[in-house]
Amino acid sequence: MSLAADRGIVALALAFLVALSGCASLSPSPPVVDAALGTPSADASDGDDGAVSVAVGGTGSSPVPETRPADNPWGRAPVVVGIDAAADGRDYAALVESAVDYWRANASAAAYDPAFVVVPNASEPDVTVSVVERIDACGDYDGADAVGCAPLFDGDEPTAPTEPVSVVVAAGYDDRTTETVLKHEFGHLLGLTHDDADAFPALSARIETTRLPEPDADERESPFRERTVAVHVDLSNVSPGERATYEAEIDHALSYYESGADGVAPANRSFERVSAPEMADVTLSVSAFRDGGSGVRWRRTGVDVDDDAALEWYTGGDLVVDADLDPSLVDWYVGAGFGYLLAADERADLPPPFRDGDPADDPAWRGVAGERRSTTTPRATTSPAATATATANKNENENGTGNVTTPAGVPSENARISTAGARVVP
């Protein structure tokens, strides 16, 4: 795996003024919140560091106040800064201290004296710096691109904060980037805006960022990122009389993974059925395989967050079950397909029931709804190594790989997915 980090330009843009509907006269008013935005990445659709092409706070947005706090908003000193970060071996306290030192040395001519004191494990901090995997929202900004977030204190509202003020920084960036984002966000606590960038470069609307390299998905114990997997099931090609059977078979496969899949899957993984495919991590459908073969075909999606051409996390995918399968075998093939989507890269990585490819060997997978069983049992899946890797993206921000599960004896060319996309024709 290449350890080259991804370097990009980060746009730091002010988010809209937080407003309370029907409460415009309330005092004090909510502070303006600033969202530091990232550049394009493969994970923009999932809410990690992606890109936006326009800056929040442009035409049509609320104006940014030009006033600054004339005095320390807390009305006292020192202002205690605590830190909430995972124990990942990084010295976040030193980075926060460096950002605070920067403003101690530079802010007095433009803002109140920054009487910040860093106490990492403070029980009652005035400011809490949180390092999080991703920032899902920042004030009214709910895009996928924020790498930092903090309130912009307005001198028109000098009321002291009654709760700890939150400064949020996205994880996954090198020390220089993290320190710069911290300087930027602490500048907003001082009431400074992007217009002050000439005097304070850390407040620039654009800064250079460097991502840390991350382990590839195949190096992780659990490469599927989400613990709760949203699944959309499309049974439109199944006759009304058989849909209840298909539902029972699919539920059997999902409950197997929810229970830990004989120790292969995380015990706390759960599945949520959703009504629309756009809400799903995984879509499951039934369609006839018109070009030969049988079983289940799958295409995995994931994200490459450090731009090394390898997926760092699996995020979902598509399963297509052959409409000509006996319904009693649907659970087995759905189970095998989910094994690949969630983690497996080789047949040996699948949970035990799916490793030898014969549902007849395990009575738990011979049908769960009392339906008849086929007189000829489809057998082994083709080896993943014998299949082509799909290079088509699920969308422009997600990468996909594909494979097929078929009975034994099917020629290898029938077990391949075209590099142009899924080979299944409805």
Range of the domain at 270: 217-415
- Domain for residue 256, yes or no? yes
* Res. 166: pLDDT tops 80: yes
Query: Do 325 and 369 share a domain, yes or no?
Result: yes
Point out which residues pair with 208 in neighbouring strands. Answer: 9
Query: Do 319 and 261 share a domain, yes or no?
Result: yes
pLDDT band at 367 (very low <50, low <70, confident <90, very high): low
Among 176-190, 349-363, 364-378, the minimum mean pLDDT is found in: 364-378
pTM above 0.75, yes or no: no
pLDDT of the residue at 253: 95
Mean pLDDT computed over 105-126: 88
- Domain for residue 421, yes or no? no
pLDDT band at 161 (very low <50, low <70, confident <90, very high): confident
* Res. 400: pLDDT tops 80: no
Of 153, 176, 210, the residue at which a domain comes to its end is 210
Of 160, 192, 210, the residue at which a domain comes to its end is 210
What CATH number has the domain bearing residue 77? 3.40.390
Query: Do 156 and 257 share a domain, yes or no?
Result: no
Contact 177, 158 (CB under 8 A): no
Of 194, 210, 226, the residue at which a domain comes to its end is 210
- Domain for residue 45, yes or no? yes
- Domain for residue 80, yes or no? yes
Number of domains in the chain: 2
pLDDT band at 406 (very low <50, low <70, confident <90, very high): very low
Instruction: Kindly report the average pLDDT of the chain as a whole number.
Output: 72
Mean pLDDT computed over 379-388: 30
* CA-based end-to-end distance of the chain: 38
Query: Do 197 and 221 share a domain, yes or no?
Result: no
What is the bridge-based pairing of β-strands 313-322 and 282-287? parallel
Query: Do 125 and 174 share a domain, yes or no?
Result: yes
Query: Do 108 and 233 share a domain, yes or no?
Result: no
pLDDT digits (tens, 9 = 90+) for 149-158: 999 887 565 5
Query: Do 171 and 274 share a domain, yes or no?
Result: no
Instruction: Give the distance from CA 90 to its chain's centroid.
Output: 22
Query: Do 119 and 262 share a domain, yes or no?
Result: no
Mean pLDDT computed over 147-166: 79
What is the bridge-based pairing of β-strands 270-273 and 79-84? unpaired
pLDDT band at 116 (very low <50, low <70, confident <90, very high): very high
Query: Do 79 and 148 share a domain, yes or no?
Result: yes
Mean pLDDT computed over 152-173: 81
* Res. 224: pLDDT tops 70: yes
Distance CA 259, CA 256 (A): 5
Helix (H) or strand (E) holding 314: strand 313-322
Among 19-28, 158-167, 299-308, the minimum mean pLDDT is found in: 19-28
